[in-house]
Amino acid sequence: MNRLSVKLAMYFLVMILVLEGLLMMYLHPSVGHARVEEEFARQLAAGKNHSAVLSDNFSEDTMHHIVLMESFSDRGVAIYDEEGSLLTRFNRSDINWDEVGAEIEGSEYTTDTLIQSDWKDEPFIVSAHPYIADSGEQGVLVLFQSTTSIHALMDKLNFHFLLAGIVSVLILGFVYMMLSRMLTRPLVRMKVATEKLSRGEFDVALPEKSNDELGELSIAIEKLAADLQEIRKNRSDFLSSISHELRTPLTYLAGYSKVALRPDLSAEEKANYLLIIKEETARLTDLIENLFELAKLDDPSFDVNIEAFAAEPFIQGLFHRLAPSFEESASTLTYQVEPGHVIEADPLRVEQIIVNLVDNARNYSEPGSTTHLSVQSLQGRTQIQVIDQGMGIPKKQQEAIFDRLYRLEKSRSRLHGGSGLGLTIVKELVEAHGGTINVESEPGKGSTFTVVV
Ligand code: ADP
């Protein structure tokens, strides 16, 4: 009872029953009534015709002729005079002539009249037709019409209505089958597929895609399966990389602290090992902070607080914060901002993006090189470019550098505490603004990171 097709078929059934009920209540009686009225009218017309002929030409011959005519039909006829005495009749044994005679004797007819119209219970409908001949004779012609033909007519009508009922039930059965095939079966298969997905089985086989909502649902479920599979793979890859990343500094920490505890070490050696332990701890803290940052970004509720702020003072402030680290490595940081430009973005996040990109530019460049930061408007948005003269990134790896924990040269990245999460965070921040990031780079010449937010 809970199946969709059964429910729909039930609605159809109720609709068809209501429709047929209305037909039976209104159409059937009115059609039947109209047909019976037609029969009455025909009978009255025939009787009127006979009485007119009798009025025009009252004679034995005429009466004989009328009786003869009616003997070939399922009608009967009797002609009475003014006193109600029977002049002639067609001798039908199934008519109660005495009763008819009594009826005629006791009544006076001035016009064609139906004296028996109960076609349901009586074997005949009976009509009386007065005649007055020019020669003075007058009386009544009585016409009998067997009701079998009306009964046959009504039976035929009932049969047609019954047939319509049976056909509509058959159509209902067909509709049920079609609905079940078109709707329920694909839905059941999709339900099975989603159950498999929730159990972690991703090889879902779905029905061939139709060009409608069911097809779209099917495609959406398949996409969901592919996405879930991808997420599960990424998650396990990420977890194994993370455990590796965590294990390395921890191994260093364990090793160096063991060495630092050796009693034969000089104070200078001890200080040296403790410094390494401090650096490794800082690296571990960075890594964990970055992981937290990514977890925050992955949360669907994460949102950026967009506001409009002037680009010039903002970049100037950043420059003063970043320039000293360049000086330390004998490199140069320059910048250029489109005058009067207003950035519409989350300032904290834009700062995070720029700091990450500029830090990378410094870290992956040789001392003495120049990094340039430029900010300008681009089709109503803000374009930020970080251009370095560093080691560059080979074409094949340019896409992968945005992946979690991806590092071109692990040793070099490690040297400055890189975790391989910086660009992933940058990309997610840019995308949270609905923006884009891309890189153009040539190994040995340098890289240009372009962000549009
Ligand atoms: P990391 O913490 O290792 O710097 P990122 O996600 O910031 O991690 O960068 C990923 C990798 O991309 C880096 O390890 C480095 O190999 C490469 N990379 C990033 N920026 C640059 C750059 N400006 N020049 C050359 N290589 C870069």
pLDDT value for 388: 97
Q: How confident is the model at residue 7 (pLDDT cuts 50, 70, 90)?
A: confident
Q: Which position has the higher pLDDT, 131 or 95?
A: 131
Q: Which position has the higher pLDDT, 375 or 413?
A: 375
Taking only the tens place, the pLDDT of each residue in 323-374 is 999 999 899 999 999 999 999 999 999 999 999 999 999 999 999 999 999 9
Helix (H, G, I), strand (E, B) or coil at 440: strand
With the CA atoms of 163, 168, 170 and 171 taken in that order, what torsion angle do they form, in degrees rounded to the nearest 10?
140
The span from the CA of 409 to the CA of 79, in Å, is 127
- Angstrom distances, CA of residue 213 to CA of 108, 180, 209, 227: 78, 16, 10, 21
The 8-class DSSP code of residue 402 comes to G
Strand order in the sheet with 381-387: 332-337, 370-378, 381-387, 446-452, 436-442
Ligand 1 near 442 CB (within 6 A): no
Tell which one of 364, 384, 426, 438 to mutate to probe ligand 1, the residue whose CB is within 8 A of the most ligand atoms.
364
When pLDDT is averaged across residues 384-397 and rounded to a whole number, the result is 96
Tell which one of 401, 406, 428, 451 to mutate to probe ligand 1, the residue whose CB is within 8 A of the most ligand atoms.
401
The span from the CA of 94 to the CA of 92, in Å, is 6
Nearest atom in ligand 1 to the alpha carbon of residue 413 is: 3
- Residue closest to 390 by CA, chosen among 406, 371, 415: 371
Q: How confident is the model at residue 172 (pLDDT cuts 50, 70, 90)?
A: confident
**pLDDT surpasses 60 at 1:** no
The protein residue whose alpha carbon is closest to atom 2 in ligand 1 is 418
* 3 Cβ contact partners less than 8 Å away, ≥ 6 residues apart: 180, 184
**pLDDT surpasses 70 at 2:** no
Ligand 1 near 446 CB (within 6 A): no
**pLDDT surpasses 80 at 257:** yes
**The tokens 């059941």 sit on which residue?**
188
pLDDT value for 348: 94
Taking only the tens place, the pLDDT of each residue in 31-82 is 888 988 998 999 999 999 999 999 999 998 999 999 888 877 788 888 988 8
**What percentage of the chain carries pLDDT values higher than 90?**
46
Helices (H), 212-346: 213-260, 267-298, 311-328
The protein residue whose alpha carbon is closest to atom 20 in ligand 1 is 360
Q: Which position has the higher pLDDT, 103 or 50?
A: 50
Dmax (CA) for the chain in angstroms is 165
The span from the CA of 253 to the CA of 259, in Å, is 10
Ligand 1 near 9 CB (within 6 A): no
**What percentage of the chain carries pLDDT values higher than 70?**
97
Query: Which of 67-81, 88-102, 304-318 is the most confident on average?
Result: 304-318
Span of 103-117, 125-139, 375-389 with lowest mean pLDDT: 103-117
419: CA distance to ligand 1 center in Å?
9
Nearest atom in ligand 1 to the alpha carbon of residue 423 is: 6
pLDDT value for 415: 67
Query: 136 — alpha (psi -120 to 50), left (phi > 0) or beta?
Result: left
Burial of 217 (0-12, 13-18, 19+ CB in 10 A): middle
- Residue closest to 228 by CA, chosen among 193, 207, 201, 206: 201
Taking only the tens place, the pLDDT of each residue in 204-246 is 877 677 788 888 888 899 999 999 999 888 888 888 888 888 8
360: CA distance to ligand 1 center in Å?
6
**Both tokens of residue 239?**
């977890």
pLDDT value for 417: 67
The 8-class DSSP code of residue 420 comes to S
